[in-house]
Structure 1
Amino acid sequence: MRSAPQTVDVKQFIDDRPVSLYQWFVIAVCFLILTIDAYDVVAIGFAGPSFIGEWHITKAQLGTAISAGVLGMTVGALLGGPLSDWTSPKRVLIVMLMTSAVGSILTAFVGGVGALTGLRFVTGIGLGAAMPVGLTLVHEYAPTRRGSLLVNFVNCGVMLGAAACGVVAGIVIPVYGWGSIFIIGGVIPLGLAIAAIFVLPEPLRFMVSRNWPAQRVAAVMRRIAPDVAFDSSHFVLSEDEQSQKKVGVAVILSPGFLFGTLMLWCAYSSACFVFYLLNGWMPLLIRDSGATLSQASFITSLYPLGGALGALCLGWLMGRFEKNTVVAIAVAGGGVALWILGGQKGNLGLLAASTFAAGMCVNGALMSMASLAATFYSSSGRTTGISWMNGVGRFGGMLGPLAGGLMLKANVDVSTMFALLAVPMLIQAAALLLKRSAAARTGALEYPSNLA
C-alpha cells in the first residue's frame, strides 16, 4: 500500500484514477433512486381510471390531484438545496426518500380525492428534493472526463422508471387493485433510504469545504482507493477560496454566478415547457397526423426511447466539446425535427423517424441540463443550483400542457403547433449561448473548467 501525499486535492485525485467499484456502486444506487422516483411520479396516471370509476370523480378533479404532485415537486426542489446546505445532502436525500415513501404507501389507503391530493403534494415534496441531490452525488464521485455522461446516464433512470410503472401497473392492478402500485412505489424507496444510511457517502467536496474531520474524508477516500493510505493527509479543493465563503442561494445569486443562473433557469423552463406539452399531447397530435390508435401508440413510444439515447450521446459529446454549445446545437436539431414532424401527414416512416429524432434532441437536451448546472457551480452552491433550476423549470412544465390544451381548443392545426414550439426551443438555445459567451467575455471560472 502506497501513502498519499500530505495534501490531497479530492477532485484531482478522482480525476487521476480509473472509476473504482465503490464509485460505480454510488452511481448505481443513485440510478435506482431516480428510477423509483420517476415510477412514483407517473403512478397516479396509471391508477387514474380506477379512481374515476370507483369514486365517480371527474377528470378535472383527478387533474387537481396530479397538479398537486407537480406543485409538491416544485416546492421540494426549491427546499432541497437550502436544506442540503443547512444540514447535509445525504441527510436530505434520506429524509426526502422516506417522505415520498410514506406518502406513496398512505396513498394506497385513501378513499377520496381530497386525501389523494394532499398525499400527492407530500409525496411530490420528497421526490422533488431527492432527485437533484442524487444527481449531485453522481457528479461529485464521477471523474471530470466522464461527469456529463454519467449524470445523463443516471437521468435515464427517469425514463426507465416511467416505463417500468406501466409494466407493473398492467400486471398488479388487475389482480391486487390500484393500491398495489403505490405500495410498491413506497416500499422500494423506503428500503433504499434505509440502505443509504449505511452505504452512501456525503459528497466529498461538501465534506472538505465544510472542514469535516480529515478522518471522515479519509474513510470515504479509502473506499475509492483501497490501495492508498491517507493517515496523515490534508484534504483540499482546487476551487478558489472566495467561492467557499458563501453557500447555497448566496452562491448561485452572487455576481459571479447570477447571469449564468438566470440563463440556466430560462433555458430549463423553456425545455420543460416543450417536454411536458409533448408528453401530455403527443399521442393525440400523432393521431391527428394520420396514424391509427395502435400506430400512434408505437410512434409515441419512440419519443422517450430517443430521449434515452440522446442523453447518452450528448453526455459523451459534452465530455469532449464545449458543453453549452453541444446542448444548444441539440436544441436546434430538436426544433428542426419537430418542424419536420408537424409536416408529416400519412407518411408513417418519416413520422416515426422525426419523432425519434425529436426525442433524442428535445429529451436529451433536457436531461443534459443537470450536468450543465453541476459543472457550472462550485461545490458550495451545486446542490442548490441543481435544485432551484429544477424548481423554477417546473413552472414552465406546468404551463406547457395548459398551452397545448388552449391551442387544441382553438383548433390550431398540428403543423402550426409543432412550428410554434420552435419559439421556446429558440429561447433555450439562445440562453445557453448567452451564458457561454458571457463567461468567455468576463473570463469567469466555471467548475470544474471554463468549458462547463
Structure 2
Amino acid sequence: MIRSYALIHITTGGGDMVYSGKVNIQQAIDEAPVSRFHWVIIILGFLILAIDGFDTAAMGYIAPTLSSDWGIKRQDLGPVLSAALLGLSLGALVAGPASDRLGRKKVLVFSCLFFGLASLGTAYAQTLNTLTLWRFLTGLGLGAAMPNAITLVSEFAPKRCRSMAINTMYCGFPLGAAGGGAISSWLIPNYGWHSVLLAGAIAPLALTVLLILFLPESVKYLVHRGKDIVQIRRIAQRFIAGDLAQVTHFYLDEERTTSKKGSVAQLFSQPWLAGTLMLWTTYFMGLVIYYVLLSWMPTLMLGMGYPLAESAWLTSLFTFGGTAGILLAGWMMDRWEAHKVVMTGFALTMLFALALGFENNHIVLFGGLIFLMGITMNGAQSGLQTLAATFYPTHCRATGIAWMQGVGRFGGVAGTMMSAQLLSQQWQADSILMFLSVPALVAAAATLYKLRRYNAQNLSAA
C-alpha cells in the first residue's frame, strides 16, 4: 500500500524555504539543485571505478611481460585473468544483499580496504598459483565496491539528471583502464610488472580514508530502514537548501509490500523476474565483449602484426572512445527512452565488430573503428546501470544492481577463457573480433524484450 503524504513548503518572510511535517525524501532529492555535495559523491564513485578499471586493464598490459618473465605461454594466463572476474562476481553477489541490510557506506569502505590489501599481496606474488589466488581476492573487494557506488549515486541524484550523474561517475572505469595503459607503459620498462600491481594497491588504500571522511550514507536507505531522523536530517540538509528543522518524518513513496521479502527473493518475484533475467542476459553478453577486448586486445593486435607500442595505443582508443560514449549515453538517456539508447548501442557494436574483422590492414581506419566501438559498447554497457537503478525499489536496489553485475561478470570470465581457448586452437584475431557480433546481437534483443514487456510500467518509484 502506497502512503501518500504531502510535501509541505513554508516560505518565510526572508524568502528561505522551510520544510515542515512529513516529507517525501525522493521528492526533496528531485527538487534539490545539483551542488558540491553531489559532486563529492560522484567524484568518490568515479575514483572507485577508476581503480577498478585500472586493475582490470593492468593484467592485460602486463601479460606479455609476465609471460616472458616467467617463461609461460600467454594462454596459460587465462586462469589469472579470469580469477579476478570470478572474485568480482562473487563479491557483487554477497555485497548487494549486505548493502541493503547494513548500508551503502559501510560496505563500500570495507570493500575498498579489502581490495587494497589484496592488491598489495598480488604485487608480491612469486608463483602462478599465488598470483591467481590474490587476483581472486582482489576481485572480491572490487566486486563489492562498484555496485554500491552506483547505488549510492543513483539514490542521491535528482531524477532529471540521474543517468548523467551515474554515467559521469562510470567514466572512471574506462579512464582508469586507459590510464592503466599509460602508467603501465612507463612503469614496466623502468620498474618491472610488479610496480603496476603495487600502484593498484596504494590507490585504494588512500581512497579508503577519503570514503570514511567524506562519503555520506544514502538517505533513501536510512529512511527505508527507519533510522534516526536526526541523522537523516543532518545529511539531507547538506543538499536541500531549505530549513528541515520542522520536519517530523521522512518517508519514501514506494510500495511497502516489497519489504516483506528478502532483497534477493524480490528479484525473482513478480513483476520483476522477467526484467531481472533480461538485465542479467544483457550485462553478461556486454561483458563477454568488453573483457575480450580489454584483456586480450594487446595480444590480438600483436597477432595481427602490430608492434607492442601500436597495440597499446589501439587498445587505449577503445577506452577513450568509451569515455565519450558513456557521457553521450547518459545525456541521451535523460532525454529519450533509456532502453532504446542501450539497444541502439549494442546494435551498432555488432556492426563495428563485423567491420573490425574485415578491415584491419589500414591502421588509421582500424583505429577509428575501435574508437567508435568504444563509444557504442561502453555507452550501452554503462546505460545498464541506470536501467537497473531505476527498475528496482530501495529495498532491493543494491542487490538488483549487484546481482546484475555479479552474474554478468561471469560473462567476463567466459570472454577471457573463450579467447584463451580460441587462441590455443589457432583462431585468427580477425575471426575472434567478428565473433563478438553474436553477444552484441543477443544483448540488443534482450534489451528490446525488456522494453516491450515493461513499456507501460514504472516499477521503481525511484
Q: Please give the TM-score of this superposition, normalised by the length of structure 1.
A: 0.90
Aligned-partner Cα distance in 2 for 1:332–1:110: 41
Distance 2:72 2:434 in 1: 36
> CA 1:55/1:301 → structure 2, altered by over 3 Å: closer, same or farther?
closer
**1:354 paired residue number:** 369
Aligned equivalents of 1:340 and 1:55: distance in 2? Answer: 36
| Aligned-pair CA distance for 1:408 | 4.8
- Please name the residue that 2:6 is paired with: none
3-state DSSP of counterpart to 1:308: helix
Q: How far has the Cα of 1:102 moved from its partner?
A: 1.0
What are structure 1's unaligned runs of at least 5 residues? none
1:46: how far off?
A: 4.4
State which of 86, 90, 98 in structure 2 corresponds to 1:71.
86
- After TM superposition, give the deviation of residue 195 of structure 1 in Å: 2.6
The alignment partner of 2:402 has SS state of helix
Which letter does structure 1 place at the counterpart of 2:460?
Answer: Y
Residue 122 (1) aligns with residue 118 (2): no
1:107 is matched with which residue?
122
Give 1:368-387 correspondences, 5 Å limit.
368-387=383-402
Structure 2 contact 153–166 (Cα < 8 Å) conserved: yes
Q: Is 1:27–2:45 an aligned residue pair? A: no
Letter in 2 for 1:375: T
Task: Give me the whole-angstrom Cα distance separating, in 2, the residues matched to 1:206 and 1:21.
Answer: 21
Q: Distance in 1 between matches of 2:422 and 2:70?
A: 31
Q: What residue is the counterpart of 2:444 in the other structure?
A: 429
Residues 168 and 277 of structure 1: is their aligned pair in 2 closer, same or farther, counting only changes over 3 Å? closer
Q: Give the C-alpha shift of residue 362 in structure 1.
A: 1.5
1:20–1:225: 8 Å Cα contact kept in structure 2? Answer: no
Cα distance between partner residues in 1 of 2:81 and 2:408: 17
* Alignment-derived partner of residue 54 in structure 2: 39
Task: Report what 1:399 is aligned to.
Answer: 414
Which residue of the other structure, out of 12, 37, 43, is the alignment partner of 2:27?
A: 12
Change (3 A) 1:388 1:12: same
After superposition, the Cα gap between the structure-2 partners of 1:406 and 1:205, relative to the gap in structure 1 and judged at 3 Å, is same
Shift of residue 327, structure 1, vs aligned partner: 0.5
How far residue 216 of structure 1 moved from its aligned partner, in angstroms, is: 0.9
Q: Distance in 2 between matches of 1:52 and 1:407?
A: 18
Comparing 131-140 with 347-356, greater Cα deviation is found at 347-356
Residue-by-residue CA offset, 1:176-225 (whole Å, 9 max, x unaligned): 55444333322321222223223211112111111111111101111112
The SS at the match of 1:235 is: strand
Work out which of the residue numbers 144, 149, 167 in structure 2 matches 1:134. 149
d(CA) in 2 for partners of 1:101 and 1:140?
26
What amino acid is the match of 1:222? Q
User: Compared with structure 1, are the counterparts of its residues 302 and 57 closer, same or farther at alpha carbon in structure 2 (3 Å cutoff)?
Assistant: closer
CA-to-aligned-CA distance 1:209-254 (integer Å, 9 cap, x gap): 1111111110111111254233433111122222343342122111
Aligned to 1:232, the other structure's residue is in SS state: strand
Are 2:272 and 1:257 aligned?
A: yes
Q: Which of 170-179 and 296-305 deviates more?
A: 170-179
SS in structure 1 opposite 2:250? strand
**Structure 1: distance between partners of 2:404 and 2:289:** 16
User: Is the 8 Å Cα contact of residues 291 and 416 (structure 2) preserved in structure 1?
Assistant: yes
Once the two structures are TM-superposed, the CA of residue 37 in structure 1 deviates from its matched residue by 2.5
Q: Tell me how large the CA RMSD over aligned residues is.
A: 2.6
Partner deviation per Cα, 1:298-333 (whole Å, 9 max, x = no partner): 444322221111111111111111111111011111
Distance 2:80 2:204 in 1: 21
- How many residues align? The count is 447
Structure 2 unpaired stretches of 5+: 1-15
For 1:103, give the aligned amino acid.
A
